[in-house]
Amino acid sequence: MVLEAVMVVVDNSESSRNGDYTPTRYEAQADAVSLIFSAITQANPESSVGLMSMGGKGPEVLVTLTTDHGKILEGLHRTKSKIRGQSHLATGIQIAGLALKHRQNKSQRQRIVAFNCSPVPEDEKTLVKLAKKMKKNNVSIDFVVFGELDSDVRNKLTVFNENVKGGDGSHLAIIEPGPGLLSDQLVTSPILNGDGVPAGGMGGGNEGGDGGSFEFGIDPSVDPELALALRMSMEEEKARVDKQNKEKEEADAKTVLPEIKEEDEAAQPLLNKDGEASESVKKEDDDKMDTA
* Tens-place pLDDT, residues 105-152: 999 999 999 999 999 999 999 999 999 999 999 999 999 999 888 899
> In this model, does residue 256 exceed pLDDT 60?
no
155 pLDDT band (50/70/90 cuts)? very high
Chain segment 263-272, per-residue pLDDT in tens: 544 455 556 6
Residue 236 three-state SS = helix
**pLDDT of 209 above 80:** no
CA distance 236 to 241: 9
Residue with more model confidence, 256 or 142: 142
Helices and strands (H, E) in the chain, number of each type:
9, 6
Query: What's the pLDDT at 199?
Result: 43
The answer to whether 85 and 55 have CB atoms below 8 angstroms apart is: yes
Strands (E), the chain: 4-10, 48-53, 60-66, 109-116, 139-146, 172-175
Rounded mean pLDDT, 228-254 = 75
Q: Which residues lie below 8 Å from residue 27, measured CB to CB, with a gap of 6+?
A: 21
**Closest Cα to residue 187, out of 236, 229, 150, 217?**
229
pLDDT band at 239 (very low <50, low <70, confident <90, very high): confident
pLDDT-derived band at 219, boundaries 50, 70, 90: low
Decide if pLDDT at 96 tops 70. Answer: yes
Query: Does position 160 have pLDDT exceeding 90, yes or no?
Result: yes
The 8-class DSSP code of residue 4 comes to E
The phi-psi region of residue 120 (left if phi > 0; otherwise alpha if psi is between -120 and 50; otherwise beta) is beta
Mean pLDDT of 205-234: 55
For residue 206, pLDDT beyond 90: no
With 0-12 / 13-18 / 19 or more C-beta atoms within 10 angstroms meaning exposed / middle / buried, residue 45 is: exposed
| Residue type, position 215, single letter | E
Can you tell me the mean pLDDT for 268-284? 58
- Position 164, amino acid: V
Under the banding of pLDDT at 50, 70 and 90, the label for residue 193 is confident
Instruction: Give the relative orientation of helices 25-43 and 224-254 as an angle to the nearest 10 degrees.
Output: 20
Percent of the chain with pLDDT over 90: 53
Average pLDDT, the chain: 81
Give the pLDDT confidence score for residue 204 in this predicted structure: 35
pLDDT, one tens digit per residue, over 4-56 is 999 999 999 999 999 889 889 999 999 999 999 999 999 999 999 999 999 98
Burial environment of residue 11 by CB neighbours within 10 A (0 to 12, 13 to 18, 19 or more): buried
Nearest alpha-carbon partner for 101 in 145, 53, 64, 70:
64
Provide mean pLDDT across the span 264-283. 56
